[in-house]
Structure 1
């Protein structure tokens, strides 16, 4: 008889978008997959059902720290685990990992957690961020202690968990190269940039920590000298305090300094016409999925020399790593492509090679499934 696996996420969209291939692979291996997230829409349910998963909804306050709401989340997850006779819980992102692990522990159910970056709490230097960091560390420490395995997406996050004594000395851990990318869904294309007319693009939630403002400031600086250069922003609005002022973005769009697309459903179609992918983030990423998609399509990448991002670039081979929160190095890196447009094609080919050798979703999912097989058998 097949075993039951519960995958828990904080965003329903991410289950099909980031974990769709993983869910399909688990089902192919004979597992019954339940996929749980808050605020499931009909579209989410349909997508997950088409994959062969059983969609489930539970309440989750994704941002705040409200003990009553958080207890409710744990209780609901506990009920889901018991009612569906779950054999293994697989949560990812902060709150699902913490609450999913606690619920599984109360039900004496095996858990493998996936740490997909440490987010705002570990990125910010404000008093609030530092306060949240201390609470989050304690919650991680308490919830992960009975996990069979904790998987990270980069070695820096694993090191931080060890140094902060979040993990016990006996804790089993591993590292995978992000969530992987489906190489067929993001097919390679050869892009030839014309002199002075290079198209730069950022794909990200419109939050300050992703470096959106730095990208806009770079566009303002370079458009003075290279009026034909294009700076494209793709992404959905985010709430304050992290959300970037949407009116400022629209003003730059109106004055033709940037081209703002908002949230789009067909990212691969947009990327295939772009030349250079930019992500000047100072957010604690796992490995940014947006960069992996750009690598697969065959784009040079400019990103920050920070955990999760530095794994995606071999400097001067497929792009550039720049210091976080620094405008001048970003301007210089973009200017390099404007002055050397012929390099776009060669660096793009190196990006695709990196995607094939290191970030292919099939390699990563096989690795995860082997761990699940080990724990359940």
Structure 2
């Protein structure tokens, strides 16, 4: 019998490797033929995906903004990819791939399992532009995913929002996974040892919505009071409207308030070198991969009690949840760890246990593979 052909659609080729690499390997191990569609593959992306055993295909996608003509071209390209490669099931993730991939697949009568990885800027509702985008995206989601076989969510909040906004109905089949999962063999556990030099780490896109400015303000206050404490920040400078100024980052680095590392690829090493992971995001997250990696490495977590973020923390056991956009609420748990370094070790052990129980990539990928088999009836 011929192998069933699965098409993964992403908005960024690099995410297929970083976030879906283990999933691709799992599909291939389960005897599926895997195709990956994304815009702007680098030579390295293509080489790595081929080495996994998948077939990379490039298509044009405008990742941000709305241009109906370009978007229609993307749908047309995806339809051609699906027909030319005789795809049996489409698996898109992130906003535009879900919307346009679902539209293309539905018109070709190909079954779709769509993964909602977070609703992002458009659903924060913090500006008139975001509210307009939200209304527009709601319409597009309604038009595109209503015929999908399964809609997979990373948190219950996004599911409830889709129900409340009548994007989907209660009759539609849904499922849930704990983010993209984390490879526990790659992100290994390292026990923390108490010392008087407590170090914090934030890894994220350098935009306001991730709470970067709040973290830097907290660092400024705490550094003055506890000079030995260290506040690390990893992320590539952004060009988006809410980007944090690179000049500001470099200035605070020069002043010794933060240690700004820029973009880094060895995240596991940095997690091992630092004590506590901080993500004060008020972005509408799915389930941030960075918090899962921090849990796996044995870092206590400080993050917001908001959509997606709260999933990574058992309050008081492996970290603390704080009110979004509240400086005092962020400073309090950070100061707690500085003044109680002996608590870091036990909370870190609890983080690893939680990762093993809930975020193991093998568990999550197995669940997704079983969903695919149920739809294809194999």
> TM-score, normalization: structure 1?
0.99
- Whether 1:3 and 2:11 are equivalent positions in the alignment is no
Contact kept in structure 1, 2:190 and 2:297, CA below 8 Å: yes
Correspondences of 1:1-377 after superposition (within 5 Å): 1-195=2-196, 197-377=197-377
Name the count of aligned residue pairs: 376
How many angstroms apart in 2 are the aligned matches of 1:169 and 1:267? Answer: 40
How many angstroms apart in 2 are the aligned matches of 1:238 and 1:60? Answer: 19
User: How big is the shift at 1:265?
Assistant: 1.1
Structure 1, 286-295 or 166-175: larger mean CA deviation = 166-175
User: Which SS does the other structure have where 2:227 is aligned?
Assistant: coil
User: How big is the shift at 1:21?
Assistant: 0.5
How many angstroms apart in 2 are the aligned matches of 1:58 and 1:238? Answer: 24
User: How big is the shift at 1:192?
Assistant: 1.1
Contact kept in structure 1, 2:125 and 2:134, CA below 8 Å: no
User: How big is the shift at 1:50?
Assistant: 1.1
1:45-90, CA deviations, whole angstroms, 9 ceiling, x for partnerless residues? 0111111110111111111100000001000101100010000000
Structure 1, 239-248 or 176-185: larger mean CA deviation = 239-248
1:170-211, CA deviations, whole angstroms, 9 ceiling, x for partnerless residues? 21001111110000000000111312x101000001011000
How many angstroms apart in 2 are the aligned matches of 1:215 and 1:95? Answer: 30
Contact kept in structure 1, 2:117 and 2:179, CA below 8 Å: yes
Contact kept in structure 1, 2:302 and 2:333, CA below 8 Å: yes
User: How big is the shift at 1:307?
Assistant: 1.2
Structure 2 gaps, min length 5: none
How many angstroms apart in 2 are the aligned matches of 1:240 and 1:61? Answer: 14
> TM-score, normalization: structure 2?
0.99
User: How big is the shift at 1:118?
Assistant: 0.5
Contact kept in structure 2, 1:4 and 1:33, CA below 8 Å: yes
User: Which SS does the other structure have where 1:224 is aligned?
Assistant: helix
User: How big is the shift at 1:237?
Assistant: 1.4
User: How big is the shift at 1:169?
Assistant: 3.5
Structure 1 stretches (4+) deviating beyond 6 angstroms? none
Contact kept in structure 2, 1:193 and 1:275, CA below 8 Å: no
User: How big is the shift at 1:239?
Assistant: 1.3
User: Which SS does the other structure have where 1:141 is aligned?
Assistant: helix
User: How big is the shift at 1:245?
Assistant: 0.9
